Structure 1
Amino acid sequence: MRIVLVGPPGAGKGTQATRLAETLHIPHISTGDLFRANISRQTELGKLAKSYMDAGNLVPDEVTIAMAKDRMEQPDAEGGFLLDGFPRNVSQAEALDELLETEDMKLDAVLDLEAPEDEVVKRIAGRRVCRNDSAHVFHVAYTPPKKEGVCDVCGGELYQRDDDSEETVRKRLEVYHTQTEPIIDYYKAQGLVTTVSAMGKVADVTKRAMSALSGS
């Protein structure tokens, strides 16, 4: 299957993308991973992307599209793929359609993970990360530490990252509504979109997504 996963920050796209890709035995292709892989391998596209990032500029669509094209042409993606974070806007969606058409392929589904804005803000703004090890993550409401402000694992100080502040989260949501959300209507016109509630337990969201993909 060839799937695009869409949803606001905090909807759990990364978690669901990993679970769905494993279940369907297809690669999970995320924009972040594409950038990191190309930059670490110092590919021409990676060097180009890094030059924009180092200057504090957005990576142009054509660079992102070229990276995605290269990844989708790898042998493990022959049977399908799950795109997470790409396309990010209608221009990228149109470019993806053109790319797939040249390869005589098409998308099978677009899953729209839906969560109320206040819930998204609560999920992200409530995160606390250990200063000693960023892999130790807690949440003030869902997975609070035994002692406030102290990591259960190593005793390090827990803090809120700058990009997890409520103000930053709401700005990220504005960008999502303005730039990315329009692709939902774009794909609805093609009859590809199924909305899946991102509320509840992770396993329940995965189950709903798999049901949507199977058409049940």
Structure 2
Amino acid sequence: DVDGSVPERGVQWVLIGEPGVKRHSYAERLSKLLGIPHISMGSLIRQELDPYSSLYKQVVNAVNEGKLVPEDVVFALLSKRLEEGENGFILDGIPRTRLQAEILDQIVDIDLVVNFKCSEEYMLKMSSESELLHIGNSKGVESSLKKKLRVYSEQAKSVEDYYSKQKKLLNFQLAGAAGDAWQGLLAALHLQYSPINALSSSPKLTA
């Protein structure tokens, strides 16, 4: 069972999951609903692609070689962002490895980790048109996604086990239309959303 207690401060949630599940979109929507910032590691890293950034060379080398950006760079960026003193956050983009999960625990208290899961069929169905245009054919898209899924799966189990032992892992299976998935996610998180409280910074959050 996941510990559903709600802290006095804003929630500090992490979104992880398989490639193609569009975590970023869900993070943005949860951020707006809860009135807390969405911290995207991808965005923080892309900001360092500025040639005038002190971390530029390390980031560019990792990106060009298709490798993960080094942990010291990742957590330097995250720590700097957290120094802005936000009251809660939705974080996506890390952790990708158990080591990153352990380091993250030393920096900040994580309340809940939402793990987005889906079938290969669902992933292919949800693949963006831009991927199809970029690769050129559906078989190429399928091959690319399967490769991403294989790489992700090799790293993900240790992260899932780590948070499961802490009773912080919530597995959420994506299926059906995007609207149905969103409503299902709100139900899983015990959140209530309507056009009325959409205008409020304090949506109902129940344990």
Confirm whether residue 74 of structure 1 aligns to residue 74 of structure 2. Answer: no
> Match for residue 129 of structure 2?
128
> Match for residue 3 of structure 2?
none
The alpha-carbon deviation at position 47 of structure 1 amounts to 3.7
> Match for residue 85 of structure 1?
93
The aligned length equals 180
Confirm whether residue 33 of structure 1 aligns to residue 40 of structure 2. Answer: no
Aligned Cα RMSD in Å? Answer: 2.4
> Match for residue 118 of structure 2?
115
Take 1:4 and 1:208, find their aligned partners in 2: how far apart are those partners?
A: 18
The alpha-carbon deviation at position 41 of structure 1 amounts to 7.4
Gapped regions of structure 2 (runs ≥ 5): 1-10, 191-205
The alpha-carbon deviation at position 195 of structure 1 amounts to 1.7
Q: Is the 8 A contact 1:26 1:81 kept in 2?
A: yes
The alpha-carbon deviation at position 37 of structure 1 amounts to 1.5
Take 2:13 and 2:47, find their aligned partners in 1: how far apart are those partners?
A: 21
The alpha-carbon deviation at position 192 of structure 1 amounts to 0.7
* Secondary structure of 1:29 counterpart: strand
The alpha-carbon deviation at position 92 of structure 1 amounts to 0.3
The within-5 A match list for 1:36-185 is 36-40=46-50, 42-75=52-85, 78-100=86-108, 106-124=109-127, 127-129=128-130, 159-161=133-135, 165-185=141-161
One-letter code aligned to 1:190: Q
One-letter code aligned to 1:159: L
* Secondary structure of 2:13 counterpart: strand
1:23 to 1:88, Cα distance in 2 relative to 1, 3 A: same
Take 1:162 and 1:175, find their aligned partners in 2: how far apart are those partners?
A: 22
The alpha-carbon deviation at position 112 of structure 1 amounts to 1.2
Normalized against structure 1, the TM-score is what?
0.74
Gapped regions of structure 1 (runs ≥ 5): 101-105, 130-136, 138-157
1:87 to 1:171, Cα distance in 2 relative to 1, 3 A: same
Q: Is the 8 A contact 1:112 1:193 kept in 2?
A: yes
Q: Is the 8 A contact 1:109 1:213 kept in 2?
A: no
Residue-by-residue CA offset, 1:155-211 (whole Å, 9 max, x unaligned): xxx824379621111110011100124211110111111122221232332232233
1:41 to 1:200, Cα distance in 2 relative to 1, 3 A: farther
The alpha-carbon deviation at position 71 of structure 1 amounts to 1.5
Q: Is the 8 A contact 1:6 1:112 kept in 2?
A: yes
Larger RCO of the pair (alpha carbons < 8 Å, separation 6+) = 2
One-letter code aligned to 1:179: Q
* Secondary structure of 2:115 counterpart: strand
1:212 to 1:73, Cα distance in 2 relative to 1, 3 A: farther
1:168 to 1:191, Cα distance in 2 relative to 1, 3 A: same
